[in-house]
Every structure is written in structure tokens, then in C-alpha cells.
Structure 1
Amino acid sequence: MTPDATEQEQTGGKSRRRRGKDKKPRSFWREIPILIVVALLLSFLLQTFIARVYLIPSESMEPTLHGCPGCTGDRIVVEKISYRFGDPEPGDVVVFRGPESWSEGYSSTRSDNVVIRGLQEVGSLVGLVPPDENDLVKRVIATGGQTVECCDDQGRVLVDGKPLDEPYITMDFPFIPGVQTCDTAVKSGRCFGPVTVPEGHLWVMGDNRSNSADSRYHVSDEMQGTIPVDNVIGKATFIVLPPSRWGSIPSPDIQQQ
């Protein structure tokens, strides 16, 4: 090897080392915007296709789900995958968009300020702000083609003539055999129906039967109080907040075989 070649090789090596030293690591502060965008995109995909957290605002699902105006209600995980492969079943607790007749009196939660409203809409896409719609939570009692009514001699809800097993109910209207039933002059507040649920629809009720504006309350509307399956957002599966309420949300098989 000639001296010139050796010198060139050494010079080239020094040059490469110099270029390596000149490469500065990317600033953390320059990466923050990228990380934020990725996090927001992942949040959007998660909220849209997988699951979303909802706040329980009322006591219509007590004691299963806790909520009341002005208090800290349960926050629940509503997963959206199950119903992509099948329809809701009796006993499931579902979150759904209220049909028009269920949304009377509902007012938008968005600001009148155009800029703030736009920020709220963006926040809603990534789960930081609740959606601007009347989302409700109830339990599925009957599905398309079934006939639901109340009550039998013991005050139980009937589906296709068979009484339901509903262990989650602790609050209901009085039903006193021989005194206040569906046949007495003053009927029990439990009484309704019979109603045959249209195909593609659900009959839903709150676990707090004496304080729930559910399918019974809307039975005079165009869908006889039922809701379209297409309005169902997902299945309520878990209580995540507050910590003292952590636990799964039961979906018992309520229809007797």
C-alpha cells in the first residue's frame, strides 16, 4: 500500500467519524408534536371502533349502575366489538342513541362560540369531550319478534308468556296480589303491554323500574317504545370509576328455557 493511499484512508476515516459526531440527536421538544398526533390518532381509533368510556348521569339503572344529577356517577367501559358479530341479547346492558321521541327536551352541550364549539367537536373525536347526542343506558328485555308484557300473578315481566328471572331489580312499583295488580281498579305501576317487538328492534328497561323513562314510557310512539338495533353503540361491560365501584357489569340469561 502506498503512503498516499494510507493517508487517504486515514483522512476518510476521520471524515466519517467527524460526520458521525456532527449528527445531533433529534430534540425531544421537536418530537412532542409527533407524539401528540400519534396519541390522538390512536385515541380516535380506539374510541370509534373498540371501546369508549361513558358517564352515568341518572339513577335509572340503580343499583347496577350508580348515577344522579349533581353527583359523581359511575364511569363505564362500553365495548363496540361484540355487536359487530351479533345482536344484543336479553340481559345485556347497552348504551344507545335515543330515538327522536326519546330525545324531547334534550339540548346540545356545545358552546355557541364557533371556536369553542369546534374544539369541543375535536375533543369529542378523541374521547376528551362527551358526544353531542342523547346517549342512554338500559337493559335489553326482549328482542325482535318477541312479545313482552307485565305482569304475571307474581308481578314479573313476561316474554312470550314466560316470566323473566331478574335478580338485578331491587326497586319497583308496588304489586300486591288481590290488592293492587293489573286487574284491580287502581293498577300497579308495573303493568304494560302486551307489545310485540318489531324485527331489528329492542325492548329496553332500566333496573330501577320505579324511576326509569324506558320503553314503557315511550310505548305510544311510532315504534311502540322499542329502539332500533342500529342505534346501539355498544355493550356496557365494566365500571372503571370510582375505584370503590370497580367491577364487571353482569349480563345474566334472564329468559327461562
Structure 2
Amino acid sequence: MVNNNDAARPRAGSTVAYNSAPNSDEEMGRAFAVHPRHASRVVLPINARRGVWESICKLLTVCMLPVLLVLSIRIFLLGQYIIPSGSMEDTLLVNDRVLTTHGLTLNVGHLQRGDIVVFHDPAGWLGASGDGRFDKDDFLIKRLIGMPGDRVQCKGAGSPIKINGQTIDETAYIKPGVQPSSLRFDVLVPAGHIFVLGDNRDNSADSRYHSSDGDGGMVPIDNVVGVAFMICWPLKHWKRIDTHRDVFANVPNSNADNWKQETAQ
């Protein structure tokens, strides 16, 4: 009487050929029984190979998702810049890294006085002074002082700055010991532009110094690429950047027509 189990089991010395990969653990066991010294050559069963591939895919997903997330945030939401000069001291120090609104999160229509803005060089400012330049690009960073239509003026020699006739107290952010402006100026900010100053007024080639360029020292709003909101590095400088909106709280709305009439008299 033939034992079915014995018939199914390969005999010693016999040769069993597998023309395809084993499809089950049972077939895998038979393959090992026939070729115990060449077990490493046995192909994994299909279900085992599928499990390995799924594990590899999961590992790649776990590793790649954080990278893709960081890249997406960097490209579409936030910008990061290294401060190259002392023009914004003591608010921002040399080599500080700042995070800015960028791409999808930047709404230039919501710019306000006090914002610290990053913008493309509007009219060769960097070629003239090299002030506030970021490495390998043409960006600068300054504080937004005047909005479109604002009249911004200063008598110089330590006098305070006025916006639309309202004197503002800038001691909250100007570098200690530095006066609001040693230069005298009286300007009207044109439509689609902003007037910017560095917090370290004695070491900032800003809107005051470029009155003879194509935009009269003004920065086109279209040039703005971000608004700085946080210092992220070094860790000891980590903090949210204060825009000091309270400084401008009493500034009245601009009235360009009245200013034109006044200067014409």
C-alpha cells in the first residue's frame, strides 16, 4: 500500500526541479529539503517577495515624506534668509537666520507699516553700497515705514520722523544711540511703492540714500518677496519678530492731494 505522504516527500538523492519560484511555505520547505547546501539560491515565494517589496515601499515613504514636506513648506509657504550686514541691528544681527512669509502665504496687499520686508534690489542699491545683501542673490531687508500715498519727512540732525504730519517714536526698534535720521528728507510715496528704512539708521543705505534712482528711493511692492516674522537661528536668538505696530497706531490716512497743494504754495 502506497503511503501518500511518502510519495509527496522527495527522497534522498533524488532531484526535484522547480521551473518557477516556490509559491508557498510548503514548496519552500521542499526546496530546502532537496538542496540544503544551496538554500541561499532558492528564490523567495511570491507572497514573501511581495512582503519584502511592501516593507521597502513603507520605508521609502517614511523617509521621503519629511523631506517632501520640508521642501513643500520651503517652496510654497516659507522663506529663509541669512542676515549679511548690520543695517537692521539690533532687531536682526549679522548671521541671524529669519523665516519669512513666502509664496502662497505672502499677501502684499496686507503689508503694514512696521513690517520687516525682504525685497529684490529695486534700482541697483547693492551696486552702490553692498548694504543688506543676502549671499548669492539680490535681496535686501528693511523696515516698512511709508505706505503708498504717505508723506514721510524728517528735518534731520536727530529730529523724529513724521508720517502724514504725525510724529512717531521709534525708540522701540531703532538701535540704541542712533538717531532717526541724520539726513533731511520730505517725500511722497507713490502708488504701488513703499518707503523703507533700516533699524540701524547710521549704517543703512535705504530709501533716504537713493532719491536719485529710477523710483526715487521707493521700493515697488511687486519686488517684495516676504515679510520676516521669526528669527530661527542661532537658537539663542530664537524669537518672534515684533513689527511694533503700536508705533504707527496714530498715523492718519494719507492725503496726497493736500500734500501736493501744500508744496505748490
In the superposition, the TM-score normalised over structure 1's length comes to 0.68
Maintained 8 Å contact 2:179/2:201: no
Q: Is 1:139 aligned to residue 143 of structure 2?
A: yes
Given residue 57 of structure 1, which amino acid in structure 2 is its aligned partner?
Answer: P
Distance 2:177 2:121 in 1: 23
After superposition, the Cα gap between the structure-2 partners of 1:50 and 1:216, relative to the gap in structure 1 and judged at 3 Å, is same
Can you list the C-alpha shifts for 1:70-91, whole angstroms capped at 9, x where unaligned? xxx1111111255427331111
In the superposition, the TM-score normalised over structure 2's length comes to 0.66
Q: Is 1:232 aligned to residue 254 of structure 2?
A: no
After superposition, the Cα gap between the structure-2 partners of 1:34 and 1:138, relative to the gap in structure 1 and judged at 3 Å, is same
- CA deviation after TM superposition for structure 1 residue 220, in Å: 1.4
Question: Is the radius of gyration larger for structure 1 or structure 2?
Answer: 2
- CA deviation after TM superposition for structure 1 residue 48, in Å: 2.6
Corresponding pairs, count: 204
Q: Secondary structure at the match of 1:26?
A: helix
Distance 2:214 2:182 in 1: 22
Residue matched to 2:160: 156
> In the alignment, which of 232, 236, 245 is matched to residue 237 of structure 2?
245
Distance 1:153 1:85 in 2: 33
Q: Is 1:169 aligned to residue 174 of structure 2?
A: yes
Can you list the C-alpha shifts for 1:70-114, whole angstroms capped at 9, x where unaligned? xxx11111112554273311111111111132132699xxxxxxx
Let me know the Cα RMSD of the aligned residues.
Answer: 3.3
Given residue 90 of structure 1, which amino acid in structure 2 is its aligned partner?
Answer: R
After superposition, the Cα gap between the structure-2 partners of 1:171 and 1:209, relative to the gap in structure 1 and judged at 3 Å, is farther
Q: Mapping of 1:59-70 within 5 angstroms?
A: 59-67=86-94
Maintained 8 Å contact 1:218/1:225: yes
Q: Mapping of 1:1-257 within 5 angstroms?
A: 19-26=46-53, 41-67=68-94, 73-80=95-102, 81=104, 83-84=106-107, 86-104=109-127, 132-151=136-155, 155-166=159-170, 167-171=172-176, 190-253=182-245, 254-255=247-248, 256-257=250-251
Residue matched to 2:8: none
Distance 1:102 1:153 in 2: 24
Q: Secondary structure at the match of 2:124?
A: helix
Maintained 8 Å contact 1:101/1:218: no
Maintained 8 Å contact 1:216/1:225: yes
Distance 2:47 2:179 in 1: 82
Distance 2:186 2:112 in 1: 20
Distance 1:201 1:102 in 2: 16
Given residue 248 of structure 1, which amino acid in structure 2 is its aligned partner?
Answer: R
Which segments of 5 or more consecutive residues in structure 2 lack a partner in the other structure? 1-21, 26-44, 252-265
Given residue 82 of structure 2, which amino acid in structure 1 is its aligned partner?
Answer: L
Given residue 149 of structure 2, which amino acid in structure 1 is its aligned partner?
Answer: G
Percent identity, aligned pairs only?
32
Q: Secondary structure at the match of 1:58?
A: coil
Maintained 8 Å contact 2:158/2:182: no
Given residue 168 of structure 2, which amino acid in structure 1 is its aligned partner?
Answer: L
After superposition, the Cα gap between the structure-2 partners of 1:40 and 1:93, relative to the gap in structure 1 and judged at 3 Å, is same
After superposition, the Cα gap between the structure-2 partners of 1:15 and 1:30, relative to the gap in structure 1 and judged at 3 Å, is closer
Greater mean deviation of Cα atoms: 49-58 or 162-171: 162-171
Structure having the higher helix fraction is 2
Which segments of 5 or more consecutive residues in structure 1 lack a partner in the other structure? 1-13, 68-72, 108-129, 176-188
Given residue 100 of structure 1, which amino acid in structure 2 is its aligned partner?
Answer: A
After superposition, the Cα gap between the structure-2 partners of 1:100 and 1:34, relative to the gap in structure 1 and judged at 3 Å, is farther
